[in-house]
Chain A
Amino acid sequence: MSLLEIENLTVHYGKRVAVDDLKLSLQPGEIVAMLGPNGAGKSTTLLSVAGALVPSSGSIRLDGTLLSEDPLKVRARIGFADQPPSLYDFFTVEEHLAFVAETRGAPVSEDHASMLADLGLASIAKRLCRELSFGMRQRVGLAAALVGGVDVVLLDETLNGLDPRAAVRARTALSKASEKGAAILMSTHLLGIAERLCQRILIMDQGLLKADVSGAELDALLAKGAGAVEALYLSLVSEPEEKV
């Protein structure tokens, strides 16, 4: 059985359909990139899985438990980094992480220290979140999504805006979480990250899942060399003016 199962997920904003009948499943340890133009439905999908938005129809299950039936139990196992990251400005970095971990029922542990080190946050652990730069806030948001031993990590363009060293640190931390069995679903516009880090690539457009590439198919695509993912993306995604 899959770790996360999304069945017939549909989200309406008034008359507009943001996500249309999405079916998706994630396996433990899988790192999945969600690509698509702005307004494709990526963030809406992530918000729905995170429990921050009630879908119009469809179901979301984690290990067989329906999110709508036991939201607290499911949300305790899902970490979500939104855009821009929601941080308590007047908590220090380590206090913010401890707070989030506590809501997930996980005590402050050595994991926190190693995660702070992995993400290059150890030196700013005692600083208030309001004093942090954009990139630092992104990294704290990522750390908050990872703390507490979550099974599913949802990232909404969290790797955007990181400097190269910070991006490497973030990739390492995500790989580590994946090795421990966490499934990672990230929306991004950075095709390079998708190619290098992810074992599966989804392409969404106008609320629809246009492509789901993984395994041998993805290997074959990547073997074509640089620009293959970009070419696939451009072939599937319509021009903005065509949508209106």
Chain B
Amino acid sequence: MKAASLIRWSNLEDRRRRQSMGGFAALPEMLVAVLWGAILAAELVRRLALVSDKDLVASASASSQLWVAAAVCAFAIAVFGAPFRLYWRRDSKLLASLPVPGTSLFALALWRSHRSALQVSLALLVALVPMGVFVDWQWALRHLLAVGIGFLGAAWLGPAAALGAGAIVASDKAQAMIASMGGEFQAPRTSWLGILPGLAATALTVALMACAPWIAGGRPPGGSILMIALLALGVSAIALLWAWTRAASVIPAAVREVAALDQEILAHVERSTPSKIERAAIALLRSPRSRWVAVKDAALLRRRYPSPYFVIPCGIIAIWIVAASQPLSYLPWAGSFLGAILVYAILMARRAQSEPVEIPRLISTLAIRRGEVAGAKNLLSSLRIALIALTAGPLLIARAPDPLSAAIFVLLASALSWLAARTR
């Protein structure tokens, strides 16, 4: 099957699926992007239009930081989506048995990654308008560099990293080598599908952070801005070329691994159980039926989605490093990292509500009340959010120039995440 045909079929199914959801999800993707951009633009208008000329320079710099922070978060999430577009697809079980060439599957993932990168870029371009109108268009256009680097990361580097992760997952030789290097610590096999895109997202974040001072109107910290741009282009292009040449052999094997994992017929599934902290929290649930659901959710989430258990602690360590080393100008970055890992916690809560972690039809036939199921899921999502806030928050607050505002931000971000993660 040719790539163009696969993309056409995939778009048809995707469009109908979104339409069936109704509401916000049924809107055209690019319109949703414009709406997100308009929300960010509204905040920038508030910051830029309502200040005196005297404060405009400082406000413009802060607005630029906010815009870049939003770009980092949005593009990083787009990079993290790459393994979902390649392997964790609803149809991976079917595709594993059909004769679809790996290059066509990679082309489909690339198409989706470009679409996702384009959505983020569009939202950021909409948000650039107030900066041009209220400050200076020449200055505002500097932000296009971040859009370009972010686009390369999300559309080229992300899928290439996901393919590299698939190569590790599907290769027994690579697994044996990692096992010999890792000693007692053995990461779950499929956790590489999260780790490599995570590293790609980190590289993208570093590149954007390096450009941030120049974008805000200053000088880049060491080296020229052209070098950073060329490096981003070169690394992304080489990674993409490498991935394209490997796609035919790697993707079918990796899709088969992930599909087999979903069918629970693969020996590589680690039989994980809830951690001690999760068990202690689960013990607080009054209903034994809720406890069963919570134990089941905790175990299945670890088996099916192991990477968040690696990526979230890494994010917290990154916050500690940033907060400890740069007390002033880099605190918005720490706040952005906190927002990103809280979004990850929300995604995990959503995953706990759908297959293969939860089977709504099965659970509705069992002797358990809906409230007991929701209670179990809410306990685990609350625990995750509380752990993130309690481990990352104190240092972030302590190092902030205005600890009260930082504390309010941490509390507000945690509360909003908790609301978004709730099962009703």
Contact = CB atoms under 8 A, between A and B. Distances in A.
Contact of A91 (B13, B97, B100): B13
Interface in A83-117: 86-91, 95, 99-100, 102-105
B16 A128 contact: yes
Contacts, number: 71
A50 B97 contact: yes
Nearest to B170: A54
Nearest to A81: B97
Contact of A71 (B13, B16, B99): B99
Interface string B234-273: 0000000000000000001100100110000111000000
B256 A54 contact: yes
A13 B13 contact: no
A91 B20 CA distance: 12
B103 to A, nearest CB: 11
Interface stretch (B45-53, B88-96, B315-323): B88-96
Nearest to A49: B97
A120 interface: no
B101 interface: yes
A89 B17 CA distance: 8
A91 B256 contact: no
Given A54-B256, A75-B98, 4 more contacts: A86-B97, A89-B17, A103-B99, A105-B1
B368 to A, nearest CB: 23
A90 B17 contact: yes
Contacts of B101: 72
B17 A47 contact: no
B97 A104 contact: no
Nearest to B253: A54
A190 interface: no
Contacts of A44: 265
Interface residues of A, number: 34
A195 interface: no
A54 B1 CA distance: 22
Interface in B1-49: 1, 5, 9, 12-13, 16-17, 20
A220 interface: no
Interface of A: 12-14, 16, 43-44, 47, 50-54, 71-76, 80, 82, 86-91, 95, 99-100, 102-105, 128
Q: Interface majority SS on A: helix, strand, loop or mixed?
A: mixed
A16 B17 CA distance: 39
Contacts of B17: 89-90
Nearest to B16: A90
A52 B99 contact: no
A13 B94 CA distance: 21
Contacts of B91: 86, 88
Contact of A76 (B94, B99, B265): B99
B87 to A, nearest CB: 14
A82 B93 contact: yes
B267 A53 contact: no
A74 B99 CA distance: 8
A53 B1 contact: no
A14 B267 contact: yes
A76 B17 CA distance: 28
A128 B20 CA distance: 11
Contacts of B93: 52, 82, 86
Q: Interface majority SS on B: helix, strand, loop or mixed?
A: helix
Contacts of B265: 13, 43-44, 47, 53
B94 to A, nearest CB: 4
A82 B97 contact: yes
Given A52-B256, A88-B94, A90-B20, A75 B99 contact: yes
A12 B100 contact: no
Contact of B252 (A71, A73, A80, A89): A71
Contacts of B96: 51-52
Nearest to A18: B265
A103 B100 contact: yes
B26 to A, nearest CB: 13
A103 B9 CA distance: 11
B20 A75 contact: no
Contacts of A51: 96-97, 256
A233 B98 CA distance: 33
B259 A52 contact: yes
Contacts of A91: 9, 12-13
Contact of A52 (B13, B16, B260): B260
B94 A86 contact: yes
Contact of A90 (B13, B97, B260): B13
A87 B16 CA distance: 14
Given A54-B253, A75-B98, A102 B5 contact: yes
A44 to B, nearest CB: 7
A234 to B, nearest CB: 27
A100 B12 CA distance: 15
Contacts of A43: 265
A26 to B, nearest CB: 18
Interface string B284-300: 00000000000000000
B97 A52 contact: yes
A12 B265 CA distance: 10
Given A52-B97, A53-B260, A88 B1 contact: no
18 contacts: A13-B267, A16-B267, A52-B256, A53-B256, A53-B260, A54-B253, A73-B99, A82-B97, A86-B97, A89-B17, A90-B13, A90-B20, A91-B13, A99-B9, A102-B1, A103-B100, A104-B98, A105-B99
B90 to A, nearest CB: 8
Contacts of B16: 90, 128
B99 A72 contact: yes
B117 to A, nearest CB: 24
Counting chain B CB atoms within 10 Å of each CB, the highest count among A88, A99, A104 belongs to: A99
Nearest to A13: B267
Nearest to A74: B99
A13 B16 CA distance: 38
